[in-house]
Structure formats: structure tokens, C-alpha cells
Amino acid sequence: MDAHSRGQAGDDIDPADQWVLNPQTGNYELRLDHSAGQPAAPRTGAPRGDSGRSPRTGADTDSGNESDADGSVPRSRSESRSESRSESRQGSRSGSRSGRGGSGAERAEVPAQRSRRAGKGQPPETAAGRRKRKAKKSGKKKVLLWTGGTLAFLLVAGSAGGYLYYEHLNNNITAFDVGTGDKAVANDRAMNILIIGTDKRTGKGNEGYGDAGSVGHADTNFLLHISKDRTNATALSIPRDLVTGIPDCETRQPDGSSTVIPGTPQSDFNPRFNQSLGQDDRDPGCTMATVKELTGLTVDHFLMADFNAVKTLTTAVGGVDICLAKDVHDKDSHLNLPAGEHNVQGEQALAFVRTRHSFGNEGDLDRIKVQQQFLASLMRKMQSKGTLTSPSKVFSLAEAATKALTVDSGIGTVGKLQDLAMELKDINPKNISFLTLPVVDNPAEGTNHATVVINEAQAKPLFAMLQNDTSLTEVKKKEAAAKDAQNDALKGPKAAAADVRIDVYNGGGPAGSAQETLAWLQNDKGAPKTTNKGNAPANVDKTTLEYAPNQADQARAVADWMGLPGSALKKGTEDAEGLEAMTLTLGKDFKGAGVPITGPAKAPEGVQKVEADKQVCAK
């Protein structure tokens, strides 16, 4: 179910040889004359030739626009906008700002062009009383920098020109319809992305690692939770050997039809989490459904990569820095390195993330920790100045990443991935945490220890934190201050229970939640003036309490009883009159009467955690 045919156009493009830096604009521009390493020639204002390339650089001068009336190809958007502004200031033209409608010979030269043509290195001429135009600063390109499981993902956004290359990248991407459709990337709420590393042994670069012909499993899994305010993220590792139920899942077939693959309850055959992919024709949508049943979090999108992705991506970025606390000679993964710091890429990088019997207790949980450390280092490398300012690395990464990825159709184009980039680009590594789902050895196996089961006491608070969008890392001070301002609503006197009046609606909680809450408020909290109003007009994600200014003390009492955050309190503008009650709407985050809505402020003790901004030596 490849969403795009593998295109022929542009297949032989070497990105590092196709782009040059324009010192006048600070942008990288596409060059198709294959003369890598040659400096851009000065532009003279002469007419463009039939080839459609600018005499200045020989570059393709547009990113998909139609030809000019005289048959010449329009200039790149950034070039056209820049020159039309100069022409307007000089009074040499009064036509279109885009530069269309006339040949290149008819376009007046701006002073900067005359200065460059003369080659005298003199500043451009300016009319008296007019300010000189400042050259654009060349800033970092906007890119998506993300990693997870066995992949890293980087795409260029906002560069001038390059339509053919853009389509080439589009044709690299493999997309699956997993039933989520083409829904847009969320920009107004928290977002969850499932990152899957599959151990399939088919396809280019995946053979020769044992288990020949295997369709693969969900071998390495990260549920990446991105906060609503986009200041922090948590990557929750889910062990492949976790015993958990796999629900029924609907899969799309090549002919456009769909079929439901029956699930496997935990009590029947004790299926492992990794069987949610590949086995019984399950696709990534089945793994997404399994994650939702396990954590209570809806997965918005998935990204999946195989062995070959690790090799190509680490090579494209110039290697990943790792640290070993001891010598490693692993006969299974073929990793052979002495203690100390190393830079690994290609086969050596793959061997590092596959090594299990040389670290910790030689189990999968210790390998997960090593993979988290590796990915954190990869993220730091990709965000480093040396990577972002290198055109060869940027475009090699774009090429490798789009070929390595399999994604859902909702983010199955470069444009949609670019939208995702804009949502993630500002998250600092210090605000990204890698955690491992708390588990214990499966008691049903005795001393075998082949599988694990969830540690409910530690996992439930962790799930509550993610469901309530609670950061596990340091966040920007201004964001913390805003959160404190919300919590100010919780400060102050609280009304006596007998004086609290509440109308309770069920807007997304389990069936019977309104009646259950009514009984709990009346019997356990001593608030008899409570009414069950049944179902709300519409379902909501979050529980809310609407109150009037003169009911603030009542609202604080209810918030205290139910563990409501300050953001759940919705203060009205007019005072309540007479016996008017507050409105409590139970949302999808409601888990039961007496269960606090807010999750804990920090992760439970003992949860395995790696912070993305810190170097740790594997041992």
C-alpha cells in the first residue's frame, strides 16, 4: 500500500551537488547544471535562454510556476520578491512585483546588480536620502529534527525553488492508510506519535541478520507525547516482550477494501506487544490500537523504520557519538569496540542498537536504555551547528530519511511532514525525556524471565501524567508562570459541603459516570445539593467546572475533592442568582468518582529515565 509510485524524475539527483548558497539572500538555491563546486556567476540582466536556467547560476529558477509569456522561466520566489522590491524603490518599473509579464531584457537592473557586474567590490549605488537595503542574514533552515526507535527524521522547509527535488522526496515516502485518513497535524492540542522500529528481514539492507524472510515485529517502540504548548516531550518505551492484549483492528487492503483482524486477549495466549505488527497480517494501525488500549492515549500518527534506516541515517548525519563504560565484543550483534568514546555509523551503529548481551543484565530492558542514550545523542548531533549549516548533510538527511520512513497517510507527503516540523522545531533536548514503561517479570514463567507484565502501581500514575499533559522535564519559565496563574484559581477559602450546588453532566466519561459522581458527592463528600443532569450536549476531552464569580469558594471545594487542575475551572462574568448551581461536565479524562483528574506532578520512583541533553556511557 505504497501511497506514491516510485517516481523516475529526479532519481539520480545528488542533493549535495544541486544546491548553492546565494550570498545575497542567505538561501540555498537549486542548481541543475551539475557543476558542483563552481561559484555562482554574476547575474547581468541579460535575457534568459531557452534552457530555462538563469545566466547567473544555471539554476532552475522556479519551484513549479508556469513559464513567462516570452517562454522564459520565472525566477525563484525569494529572488523575484527581493528584486521587485528594489525595482519599486528605484522607480524603474511599475509592473508586477513577481517580475512576470516581460522578458529578462526588459527588466531594469537594480544598483546592486550593476555593482556585481562591474566586479569592483563597491557598495551598490543609492539615491540621495534613501536607505541602503540590508543584506539578509543567513539563519538556520527550518527543519524537522526527530528521532525514535531506529530512525531519525529531517526535512527541509521553506527553501527557495526545488520543485523537482520536492517531488522526488515525495516519491521516496511510503505511506499506509491505517484508518485515520488525511487528518491534519494537530496544532491546538497535545499530540501522540508512535515510532516503530521493525526487525523485518526483507527489503534492501535488511537481509543477513538471521530469521531470514521474517515480515518483522514491533521490535522497538516509542510513544512520543508532545505537549500542547510544544515546550516539552516524553518518549515512552514499550518493551517488545510485554504481555498484553491485542484488540481487533481494521486494516486496509490494496484494492481499497478493509478487513477486521481478530484480536488476541491477554488471558488466552498471552500475546507479546511485538505481535501487534506483522503477525496475522497486522499493520501499524493494529499497533496504534494496542497502544491506545494499553495507555488510554489516542495515537495520532506513526513513523516506522527498519534496520536499513539506522545505517543510512547515521551515515547521512556523519555518525553518532556514543560512550562505552567497558570493552564490548558481542558475537551476536558483531559490535567490537574498546571502552571510551566513539563515533559510529552504518553497520556499526546498527550493531550498537541491536546489542543486548553486553549491557546490564543482558536483557531487552537494558538494551532499551542503550537505545534511548543512542537516540538522545543522535538528536544532539542533528541539532548541532555543524549539521544544520552543512547543505550536504541537510539534503543527504532529507534523502535518507524520506526513503527510510514508512508513515500513515495523514503525514504521507513532504508538505504534511513539514507541518509536523513546524510543531516540533522549538523543543529543546533538555525538555525531552525518555522513559521505559514500568514492568515486572511475568510471574507465570517462574525463573524463565522471557516476558514481562505491566507494573500497575507505577504505570497508572505515569499514564495519568501523559493523559493530563504533565511535563517530566524542566520547561520554559514563562510557561511555568502561566501554569501558576491558572492554579491561582485554586487558592482561597472553600465553601462548606452543605452549601455546594452542582449540576453534573456526563460529557465523555464511562456510562453511568454522572450518577456515580452524584452518589459520591452526596454520600462521601456530604454535598446533598447535587443533581444528575444526564448526558452533556456534546462529548469533551477534559472535565470542566463552570461557576459564577460569587461561587468561587464552592468551585475550590469541588476542585479539591476531585483533584481538578486550575485549567478545568471556567469562571463566568456574572454572579449567580438564587439557587443557581455550578455546572460540572465529566470529560474523557474522568476515570471514576474519587479518582483525581490531575496526574501526579512527577514520575513515580524507580521508573527508568534518560534525559536527551545528557551524555551517558553504556555499561
Distance CA 181, CA 151 (A): 23
DSSP symbol at 183:
P
Tell me: pLDDT of 242 over 90: yes
Q: State the cell numbers at 507.
A: 460529557
* Percent with pLDDT over 70 in the chain: 69
What is 339-401 written as a DSSP string? SEEEEE-HHHHHHHHH--TTSTTSSHHHHHHHHHHHHHHHHHHHHSHHHHT-HHHHHHHHHHH
Tell me: pLDDT of 305 over 70: yes
**Which residues have a Cβ under 8 Å from the Cβ of 42 and sit 6 or more positions away?**
56, 116, 117, 119
Report pLDDT for 83: 44
Distance CA 618, CA 373 (A): 8
For residue range 553-598, list pLDDT tens digits in order: 999 999 999 988 888 999 999 999 999 999 999 999 898 888 888 7
In 437-541, where do the E strands start and end?
439-441, 452-454, 502-506, 530-535
Distance CA 34, CA 60 (A): 12
Q: State the cell numbers at 365.
A: 530492558
- Dihedral sign for Cα 593, 599, 605, 606, please: positive
Tell me: pLDDT of 276 over 90: yes
Q: Between β-strands 609-611 and 174-176, what pairing exists: parallel, antiparallel or unpaired?
A: unpaired
Tell me: pLDDT of 184 over 80: no
Distance CA 369, CA 349 (A): 15
Cα-atom radius of gyration of the chain, to the nearest Å? 29
Q: Report the largest interatomic distance among the alpha carbons of the chain, rounded to a whole angstrom.
A: 90
Report pLDDT for 94: 39
Tell me: pLDDT of 226 over 70: yes
> Collapsing DSSP states into helix, strand and coil, what is residue 533?
strand
Report pLDDT for 328: 96
Arithmetic mean of pLDDT, 136-145: 40
- Dihedral sign for Cα 475, 479, 483, 485, please: positive
Report pLDDT for 516: 95
**The cell 503477525 sits on which residue?**
279
For residue range 488-514, list pLDDT tens digits in order: 778 899 999 999 999 999 999 999 999
Closest CA to 501 of 533, 476, 472: 533
**Which residues have a Cβ under 8 Å from the Cβ of 341 and sit 6 or more positions away?**
321, 322, 323, 324
Closest CA to 41 of 26, 56, 54, 19: 56
Buried b (16+ CB within 10 A) or exposed e, 478-487: ebeeebeeee
Tell me: pLDDT of 243 over 90: yes
Distance CA 59, CA 97 (A): 21
134 pLDDT tier (thresholds 50, 70, 90): very low
Distance CA 214, CA 237 (A): 23
Tell me: pLDDT of 218 over 60: yes
Tell me: pLDDT of 263 over 50: yes
| Other CB atoms within 10 Å distance of the CB of residue 520 | 17
395 pLDDT tier (thresholds 50, 70, 90): confident
**Which residues have a Cβ under 8 Å from the Cβ of 379 and sit 6 or more positions away?**
145, 146, 147, 152, 429, 432, 612
162 pLDDT tier (thresholds 50, 70, 90): low
Q: Between β-strands 432-436 and 233-237, what pairing exists: parallel, antiparallel or unpaired?
A: parallel
Report pLDDT for 24: 62
Distance CA 562, CA 556 (A): 10
Tell me: pLDDT of 167 over 90: no
For residue range 417-467, list pLDDT tens digits in order: 878 878 887 788 888 999 999 999 999 888 888 999 999 888 988 898 898
Q: What is the helix (H) or strand (E) element at residue 546, kind and residue range? A: strand 544-547
Strand partners, 235: 224, 434
- Can you say how many angstroms the Cα of residue 214 is from the centroid of all Cα atoms in its chain? 29
483 pLDDT tier (thresholds 50, 70, 90): low
Tell me: pLDDT of 309 over 70: yes
Tell me: pLDDT of 44 over 50: no
Tell me: pLDDT of 341 over 60: yes
Report pLDDT for 123: 43
Tell me: pLDDT of 14 over 90: no
Tell me: pLDDT of 103 over 50: no
Distance CA 426, CA 232 (A): 9
The pLDDT mean for the chain works out to: 76
* Percent with pLDDT over 90 in the chain: 38
Q: State the cell numbers at 563.
A: 483533584
Tell me: pLDDT of 22 over 90: no
**96 vs 186 pLDDT, higher one:** 186
Tell me: pLDDT of 90 over 80: no
Report pTM.
0.64
Distance CA 371, CA 221 (A): 11
282: left (phi over 0), alpha (psi -120 to 50) or beta: beta
394 pLDDT tier (thresholds 50, 70, 90): confident
Arithmetic mean of pLDDT, 114-130: 42
Q: State the cell numbers at 294.
A: 494499553
